[in-house]
């Protein structure tokens, strides 16, 4: 039977029946001091592999909380294999991309350096923390992974051969993403995909040629208004999910 | 000939050749003190009716800037007639909705009170200011309008007869927005539309029945993950634009 949980946490532990889970300091603090939960209260947990479980708080001090698994309440499901490859932007918007991409169902995020990228360091650990928090809140059963920063030409040179690229080209007008993805739907929907979003200011001509000549590239338009990079990413993920994903 | 403008402003004045435009205090401050522009520099302006014009700064003091129109550089275009009707949420996310909805091309925003809406006051003036700023930045030729707060049942009772409703139903699975809107594309694409987004926690059963029974309602799914209200709004606008709008 499913009881309303007081909190929902991502954990690393394998989830089986009667499994004690000793939470780390931050999660213990959150449950004991922020949420003020006590022994006996119900907390939902997931680890990205074993579905979602109800657990009971076995012991709670101000410093350490131990959970004990009860029942599995949701089985692990297959999720879309969708990368978001994006030119990193400044802090608040980077947090935003990590959160929203998680909610919208991306499986992996890759910050990519382009010629017009102005940010020179990306806090990928912070992105991962944002992804965990968003996954806990949106009831996802998994947390997207975050790749290391990589240069665009290097990434394309070592691109996985079977992964399609949805390239959101700012300079393109006339081919709507809806039409382009619907056309793909018949032949390509089963394969893994990546959405590629450029920096504010766009890819330069050399980069655009490199991308458009890639054999796995499908070029789509997101309209004639100028979208910020974070808006373009959210729009592209939504379109992909609705045309080819699990929406 | 088009010269790169140093700034882009929304103004209320009619735009014709050789028209002086005396800017208000805030815009004057922005150009003279923040951007530090001087007489002779080029500024782009639009008013939502007369396209985009290049102007020259005729006079700039720290308190008042006067522009003089030169040439029209873009003609006014028809834009999608798309309302975003949404249950208002807290401040930062409300700013966010107004900005992103503007970028994504909504024509009118209506905050709607539902039974589960927890916000009791909406700063519609602040929303309008956010919309202007976003329109200036994203090169739109218009600024979306912001309606007064209204209760859901009252809004539906006085609903314009020809306006379709894209209802994003959290409880619905199985009918993808892509499929639902593609099916509409043939018969309904020409009409005006509204996207209806519920509060965090969703519409209650009474409200859902009211909406779903509305003759102009098309119900769509945004997938099985729980989206925050602002994420759902952005996703829905993107899907609508790609299927039925101007993308």
pLDDT of residue A2: 57
Query: Nearest residue of B to residue A238 by CA position?
Result: B235
Nearest-CA distance B171 → chain A (Å): 12
Asked if B176's CB is within 8 angstroms of A138's CB, the reply is: no
> Model ipTM?
0.85
In terms of Cα–Cα distance, which of A149, A151, A105 is closest to A127?
Answer: A149
Q: Which residues of B touch A241 (CB under 8 A)?
A: 223, 235
The answer to whether A38 touches A58, Cβ cutoff 8 Å, is no
Nearest-CA distance B154 → chain A (Å): 31
Which DSSP string corresponds to A141-163? SS--EEPPPEEHHHHHHT--TT-
* Number of residues in chain A: 247
Mean pLDDT of chain B: 89
Query: Nearest residue of B to residue A220 by CA position?
Result: B247
Which residues 120-139 of A are in CB contact (within 8 Å) with B? 137-139
pLDDT of residue A10: 97
Q: Is A209 on the interface with B (CB under 8 A)?
A: no
For the four alpha carbons of B39, B42, B43 and B44, in that order, the dihedral sign comes to positive
pLDDT of residue B1: 46
Least confident of A79-88, A124-133, B126-135, B221-230: B221-230
Q: Which residues of A touch B243 (CB under 8 A)?
A: 178
From B228, B235, B247, residue closest to A223, measured CB to CB: B247
Q: Is A66 on the interface with B (CB under 8 A)?
A: no
The residue behind tokens 């592209």 is: A236
Task: Catalogue all structural domains in chain A, each as residue range(s) with its CATH number.
Answer: 8-74 (2.40.240.20), 82-243 (3.40.1280.10)
* Spatial distance between the Cα atoms of A101 and A84, rounded to a whole number of angstroms: 8
Asked if B228's CB is within 8 angstroms of A138's CB, the reply is: yes
What's the whole-model pTM score?
A: 0.89
Kindly state the average pLDDT of the residues B69-75.
96
pLDDT of residue B176: 73
Per-residue pLDDT 10s for chain A (247 aa) are 456 888 999 999 999 999 999 999 999 999 999 999 999 999 999 999 999 999 999 999 989 999 999 999 999 998 899 999 999 887 778 889 999 999 999 999 999 999 888 777 889 999 999 999 999 998 899 999 999 999 999 999 999 989 999 998 877 665 677 777 777 765 555 679 999 999 887 899 999 999 999 999 988 888 877 888 899 999 999 999 988 887 7
Q: Is A175 on the interface with B (CB under 8 A)?
A: no
From A140, A221, A223, residue closest to B225, measured CB to CB: A140
pLDDT of residue B92: 75
Asked if A176's CB is within 8 angstroms of B225's CB, the reply is: no
Q: Is A183 on the interface with B (CB under 8 A)?
A: no
Query: What confidence tier does B173 reach under pLDDT thresholds 50, 70, 90?
Result: low
The answer to whether B147 touches B178, Cβ cutoff 8 Å, is no
Q: Which residue has the higher pLDDT, A109 or B78?
A: A109
Tokens describing residue A192: 């893994």
Nearest-CA distance B157 → chain A (Å): 31
């Amino acid at each position: 039977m499913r009881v309303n949980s007081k909190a929902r946490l991502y954990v690393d532990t394998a989830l089986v029946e009667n499994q004690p889970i000793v939470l780390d300091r931050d999660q213990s603090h959150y449950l004991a001091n922020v949420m003020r939960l006590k022994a006996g209260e119900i907390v939902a947990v997931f680890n990205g592999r074993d579905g979602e479980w109800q657990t009971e708080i076995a012991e709670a001090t101000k410093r350490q909380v131990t959970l004990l698994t009860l029942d599995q309440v949701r089985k692990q499901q297959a999720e879309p294999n969708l990368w978001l490859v994006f030119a990193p932007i400044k802090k608040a918007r980077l947090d935003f991309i990590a959160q929203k991409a998680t909610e919208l169902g991306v499986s992996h995020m890759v910050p990519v350096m382009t010629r017009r990228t102005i940010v020179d360091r990306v806090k990928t650990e912070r992105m991962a923390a944002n992804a965990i928090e968003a996954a806990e809140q949106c009831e996802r059963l998994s947390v997207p992974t975050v790749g290391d920063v990589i240069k665009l030409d290097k990434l394309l040179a070592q691109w996985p051969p079977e992964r399609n690229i949805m390239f959101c080209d700012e300079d393109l007008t006339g081919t709507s993403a809806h039409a382009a993805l619907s056309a793909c739907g018949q032949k390509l929907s089963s394969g893994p995909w990546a959405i590629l979003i450029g920096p504010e200011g766009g890819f330069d001509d050399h980069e655009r040629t490199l991308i458009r000549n890639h054999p796995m590239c499908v070029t789509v338009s997101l309209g004639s208004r100028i979208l910020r990079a974070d808006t373009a990413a959210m729009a592209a993920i939504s379109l992909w999910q609705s045309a080819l994903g699990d929406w």
